[in-house]
């Protein structure tokens, strides 16, 4: 009795030329249904329809009076060739078929984002960025449930807001800076770039600045409130241009002098709208 053949399992497989997986006419990746001439040269479904009228194969010129025939073995082969998403290191587990690779990338939920700190080259998922902000830069970090109001004391510079919306998390940065007209608060929605135009954060921002004298007696309170939409950014080009993003300006006249302290409290409500196509892999 013959010994059953055991299939070896290679650690890796290398494809020397992806041309072998492309249509010989349009050079696009072959996808089922796939057709062949009588000799075996393959074409995709769209090109089969175009080449049938020519009467001969585009490679060997063999007559195709009876038309192209279906190549089921080639279909089985291309369906079995899977590729890793380039964002595997950032949490993507998708392994799309080679011919669907270009369709997966625009909808992948795991492209990396960039740290906005000067001279920092860290790149990672939004979850990795959140840990990086807290451990490396030690920026103030707050958590909030979507659609819930909460108040925070913001410090100058970056403040990290971890927004939990159902089973999803969103990362926002609140940047507080001193400007010649007063104090500016910019809100930045950190999100992978392929999803730009698919996710937006609708933000309700309420700022309260209280003036305190050295003796602790409160003199007055300045209130501002605004609601606006935020477009996402992966920060690959650095921070968004201030002229192109929302900034709430607390006027200089509302700020205390050098001998007084400032308290800035923020109430924020986040609502995100997700294009359902972004969740497809």
253 band by pLDDT with thresholds 50, 70 and 90: confident
Burial 80-106 (b: 16+ CB within 10 A, else e): eeeeebebeebbbebebbbbebeebee
134 closest CA partner among 112, 97, 115, 160: 160
Q: What is the pLDDT of residue 122?
A: 94
Any domain includes 135: no
Do 179 and 260 belong together in one domain?
Answer: yes
Beta bridge partners of 96: none
Q: Check residues 163 and 109 and name the one with the higher pLDDT.
A: 163
Please, which pLDDT band fits residue 274 given cuts at 50, 70 and 90? very low
Identify the three-state secondary structure at position 197: coil
Average pLDDT of the residues in 52-78: 85
Q: Are 146 and 263 part of one and the same domain?
A: yes
Model confidence at 146: pLDDT above 90: no
pLDDT for residue 275 is more than 50: no
* 177 pLDDT above the threshold of 70: yes
What is the value of pTM for the model shown?
0.66
Residue 34 has pLDDT above 60, yes or no: yes
Phi-psi category of residue 119: left, alpha or beta, with phi > 0 → left and psi -120 to 50 → alpha: left
First to last CA, the chain: 47
- Same domain flag for 149 and 243: yes
What's 5's DSSP letter?
A: P
Q: Note the pLDDT of residue 64.
A: 77
Asked if the structure places residue 124 within a domain, the reply is no
Q: Rounded to an integer, what distance in angstroms lies between the CA atom of residue 257 and that of residue 274?
A: 44
Asked whether 11 and 30 are in contact (CB, 8 A), the reply is: no
Comparing 23-37, 78-92, 139-153, which segment has the lowest mean pLDDT? 139-153
The answer, yes or no, to whether residue 31 has pLDDT greater than 90, is yes
Residues 73 and 151 grouped into a single domain: no
Secondary structure element (H or E) that encloses residue 228, with its range: strand 218-230
* Structure-derived torsion over alpha carbons of residues 191, 196, 202, 203, reported in degrees to the nearest 10: 40
Residue 157 φ/ψ region, left for φ over 0, alpha for ψ in the -120 to 50 degree band, beta for the rest: left
Q: What average pLDDT does this structure show over 47-51? A: 84
Give domain status of residue 238, yes or no: yes
Q: How many angstroms separate the CA atoms of 132 and 118, rounded?
A: 14
Residue at 23 is within a domain? yes
Residue 217 Ramachandran class (φ > 0 left, ψ -120 to 50 alpha, else beta):
beta
Domain that holds residue 151: 140-276
Phi then psi for residue 247, to 5 deg, are -140, 130
Q: Vertex 126, ends 125 and 127: CA angle to 5°? A: 90
CA distances from 29 to 46, 85, 175, 259 (A): 12, 17, 45, 69
Reported as type and span, the H/E element at residue 102 is: helix 101-107
**Structure tokens that stand for 39 in this block:** 């000799």
- Our count of domains for the chain comes to 2
Domain CATH number, residue 187: 2.60.210
In a domain, 126, yes or no: no
Say whether both 70 and 144 belong to one domain.
no
Query: Is residue 169 domain-shared with residue 244, that is, in the same domain?
Result: yes
> Same structural domain for residues 183 and 261?
yes
In a domain, 253, yes or no: yes
Has residue 121 been placed in a domain? no
Angle at 120 between CA 244 and CA 250, to 5 degrees: 40
Say how many residues make up the chain.
281
H-helix or E-strand spanning residue 248 = strand 247-251
């Amino acid at each position: 009795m013959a010994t059953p053949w055991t299939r070896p399992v290679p650690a890796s497989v290398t494809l020397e030329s992806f041309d072998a997986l492309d249509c010989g006419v349009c050079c696009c990746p072959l996808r089922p249904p796939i057709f062949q001439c009588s000799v075996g040269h393959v074409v995709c479904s769209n090109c089969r329809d175009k080449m049938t009228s020519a009467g001969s194969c585009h490679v060997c010129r063999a007559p195709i009076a009876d038309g192209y025939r279906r190549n089921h073995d080639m279909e089985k082969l291309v369906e079995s060739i899977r590729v890793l998403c380039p964002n595997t290191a950032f949490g993507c587990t998708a392994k799309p078929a080679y011919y669907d690779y270009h369709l997966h990338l625009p909808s992948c939920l795991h492209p990396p984002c960039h740290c906005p700190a000067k001279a920092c080259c860290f790149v990672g998922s939004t979850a990795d960025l959140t840990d990086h902000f807290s451990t490396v830069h030690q920026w103030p970090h707050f958590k909030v449930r979507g659609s819930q109001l909460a108040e925070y004391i913001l410090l100058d510079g970056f403040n990290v807001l971890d927004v939990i919306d159902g089973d999803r998390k969103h990362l926002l940065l609140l940047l507080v800076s001193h400007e010649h007209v007063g104090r500016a608060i910019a809100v930045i929605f950190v999100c992978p770039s392929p999803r730009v135009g698919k996710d937006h954060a609708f933000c309700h921002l309420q700022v309260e600045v209280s003036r305190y004298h050295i003796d602790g007696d409160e003199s007055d309170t300045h209130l501002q409130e605004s609601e606006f939409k935020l477009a996402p950014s992966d920060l690959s080009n650095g921070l968004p241009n201030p002229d192109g993003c929302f900034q709430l300006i607390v006027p200089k006249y509302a700020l205390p002098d050098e001998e007084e302290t400032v308290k800035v409290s923020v109430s924020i409500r986040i609502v995100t709208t997700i294009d359902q196509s972004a969740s497809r892999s």
